[in-house]
Structure 1
């Protein structure tokens, strides 16, 4: 039996500073294939090559990955500054309408880091350009030095809403996560529910209220060691179940998929 197809949103990079590529971290494919049990398919997130309507027909679910470029602040009505960093307008042009279409259709997606931020912006929310510059906030950025194991190490607690979707999925109201992001939610998008936060108040886990499908998104990187990590694994397993439901024509809701 064919596995459900999960479209993994790719990022634009220059290989060797001159060769344009669309790339995706192998840890994303590993999590989708070996934890979600789905077929990973890298998407060149650029409207010159793909359109949202095609993607909705080809894929059973979408992994909105992390990436160095940020959502352009014009997408939420603010001017760009140096603090906003680099951008990928082509990815913005695909992912933001894709999120809105998936919410309406009930087609599953799982947002990670930049993907988490895309979901908030797609639903009308805004972002802070640099969390660590805010009073009382910790530095959520990736450590500049060290091995991958050290950069993706668990660094802070996320407190989940008691009895909420993430709490029920994890079986715990407090989990440990890594943290590798500079930006974060400023104003919450329409129907976005903050279901978990870091100790400094930074939103870390969200979903779209009353959406007919799987819309869980996290600010950390659960794709790292997803096979073994007790926080990451249930997220990717639930996402895989949602993609299988979609592939089979079952249109079950968020609570059923994550109960």
Structure 2
């Protein structure tokens, strides 16, 4: 049996400001191929060219990537404002039902940044467009200048719930993470368990309560240095193991809790 196939959700881009393209980051491909030991497959995030049912058949799991466009606020019952930024409506139309289908079937996914927010919205939660404007919150956006290494540098602590799945997987109650997001979870969906928070209370790690499969979601970007950063390596390793179980015909178990 070959390696499991992981569908990596793409984002829309304009090459030379005129040629439309869909693309996934090299970091995401390397994280899936090397840290998770799976086959990375780019998914066009547009229901006009693919369908959720086709993707579920073609892939053994999904990496819900970050991206500059935000989930459109109409998806969680809020009127659009300039603060909500840019959008990718075709991605909304494909990925939100894909998440619900994966949760129902137990098909594994790992959600990152925008993907973390998509999971919350798909299950009925809401987002805040600019969390740094909330009293007591810090600025979670990436530095506007500097090298890529400086933008993805570890910036704050995330603390996990005692005995929760992130504590079990990472063998620690606290880890240092990078931070490259402007919006974040406002009201968590009923089934979304916030299992880790930044020092200012911002939700940073979650899973779906009662889901039969792997549903770990993080607000930070573990794909950066995924093969060398110990936190990222464990996250992608566990995700790869879940995809291998799915490919072998077994429903992957959720990450265990500490007894």
TM-score over 0.5 for the pair: yes
TM-score normalised to the size of structure 1?
0.98
Runs of 4+ in 1 over 6 A off after TM superposition: none
Aligned residues: 259
Per the TM alignment, residue 163 of structure 1 is displaced from its structure 2 partner at its CA by: 0.8
Q: Distance in 1 between matches of 2:180 and 2:158?
A: 14
CA contact (8 A) 2:107 2:252 kept: no
Aligned to 1:63: 63
Task: Say yes or no: does 1:19 pair with 2:25.
Answer: no
Aligned to 1:116: 116
Aligned to 1:221: 221
Tell me the alpha carbon deviations over residues 122-150 of structure 1, each in whole angstroms, 9 at most, x when there is no partner. 00000000011111100000100000000
Residue correspondence of structure 1 range 188-199 to structure 2 within 5 A: 188-199=188-199
Tell me the alpha carbon deviations over residues 151-189 of structure 1, each in whole angstroms, 9 at most, x when there is no partner. 000000000111110000000000000000001000011
CA contact (8 A) 2:163 2:258 kept: no
Aligned to 1:210: 210
SS in 2 for 1:204: strand
Q: Distance in 2 between matches of 1:114 and 1:44?
A: 16
Compared CA separation, residues 256 and 174, structure 1 to 2 (3 A): closer
Q: Distance in 1 between matches of 2:258 and 2:161?
A: 14
CA contact (8 A) 2:11 2:23 kept: yes
Per the TM alignment, residue 252 of structure 1 is displaced from its structure 2 partner at its CA by: 3.2
Aligned to 1:82: 82
Per the TM alignment, residue 230 of structure 1 is displaced from its structure 2 partner at its CA by: 1.0
SS in 2 for 1:238: helix
Cα RMSD for the two superposed structures: 1.2
Residue correspondence of structure 1 range 102-113 to structure 2 within 5 A: 102-113=102-113
| Uncovered stretches (5+) of structure 2, i.e. residues with no partner | none
CA contact (8 A) 1:238 1:258 kept: no
| Uncovered stretches (5+) of structure 1, i.e. residues with no partner | none
CA contact (8 A) 1:109 1:216 kept: yes
CA contact (8 A) 1:196 1:206 kept: yes
Per the TM alignment, residue 258 of structure 1 is displaced from its structure 2 partner at its CA by: 10
Tell me the alpha carbon deviations over residues 31-55 of structure 1, each in whole angstroms, 9 at most, x when there is no partner. 0000100000001100111110100
TM-score normalised to the size of structure 2?
0.98
Tell me the alpha carbon deviations over residues 213-232 of structure 1, each in whole angstroms, 9 at most, x when there is no partner. 00000000000000000111
SS in 2 for 1:100: helix
Compared CA separation, residues 129 and 207, structure 1 to 2 (3 A): same
Compared CA separation, residues 99 and 258, structure 1 to 2 (3 A): farther
Aligned to 1:235: 235
Compared CA separation, residues 151 and 214, structure 1 to 2 (3 A): same
Q: Distance in 1 between matches of 2:65 and 2:255?
A: 23
